[in-house]
A = this chain, B = another copy of it.
Amino acid sequence: MYKVGLIRVVTQQPPLLEAHADILKKAYPMLDITSRCIEGQSDGVHDKESENLAIPKIISLARQFYEDGMEAVIISCAGDPALDVLRADLPIPVIGAGRSCASAAAGSKGLIGVIGITEGAPPAFREILGDRIVDDTLPEGVICTLDLLTEKGRQSVLARAMSQKQMGAEAIAFACTGLSTIGIAPYIEESVGVPVFDAVLCEGAFACLALSNHVYKE
């Protein structure tokens, strides 16, 4: 088992606090995950202001996880806030949902639709996927992660995915981990018929990869 600290960038109490950890424990049973969230941001990170507010809190939580003996830290946000700073700062792997999802999607062929909650795809998606992003406009009526929890939010995401397929997308990448919280990936795959890269499942796969080198030292 790998001890992994997971940072939620929306202020939540259990059981919602554990939403991403619950997904990851089922998908990757070797991850032993402890979840903590930033304080005072009940609508999460969804624009530059909320991101700037979150960054010092994320850095503090990550350092705490390292001091507590975690073997890796996951920043469970597609904007990858504080990722570069923490990668330079900590001697353990630091995984961001955005870089993980964008690079996993880079392995698919053709154009890619990006669905998130920010105006324009987050930095890792633009950097890694570049011209392959066919569309990154917001689902109608979705401004923050909480909007995804409503039935209207779900329908809006499905409609966006269908539009992106019609625009030529051969795969869809999630640029918000709130889309993992609502578990919509398999519904898009079934109803729209394209593979979906789910940001939480991708961060888990990259955490496993980052921790797997030990096999050669046993």
Among B106, B128, B206, which residue has its beta carbon within 8 angstroms of that of A205? B206
Question: For this complex, into which size category does the number of interface residues on chain A fall?
Answer: 35 or more
Contacts of A107 in B (CB 8 A): 99-100, 102-103, 106, 124, 128, 206
Q: Report if A202 contacts B (CB, 8 A).
A: yes
The reply to whether B213 and A185 contact each other, CB–CB distance below 8 Å, is yes
The complex places the Cα of A209 from the Cα of B209 at a distance, in Å, of 11
Q: Report if A48 contacts B (CB, 8 A).
A: no
The reply to whether A209 and B201 contact each other, CB–CB distance below 8 Å, is yes
The reply to whether B103 and A208 contact each other, CB–CB distance below 8 Å, is no
Contact with B along A117-132 (1 / 0, CB 8 A): 0000000100010000
**In chain B, what residue has the closest Cβ to A23?**
B215
Among B26, B208, B212, B216, which residue has its beta carbon within 8 angstroms of that of A183? B216
Query: Which chain A residues have a beta carbon within 8 Å of chain B's beta carbons?
Result: 23, 26-30, 84, 99-100, 102-107, 109, 124, 128, 183-186, 189, 196, 198, 201-202, 204-206, 208-209, 212-218
* A and B contact pairs by CB, cutoff 8 A, 15 listed: A23-B215, A28-B30, A28-B212, A29-B29, A102-B107, A107-B124, A107-B206, A183-B216, A184-B216, A198-B212, A204-B209, A204-B212, A205-B208, A205-B209, A208-B208
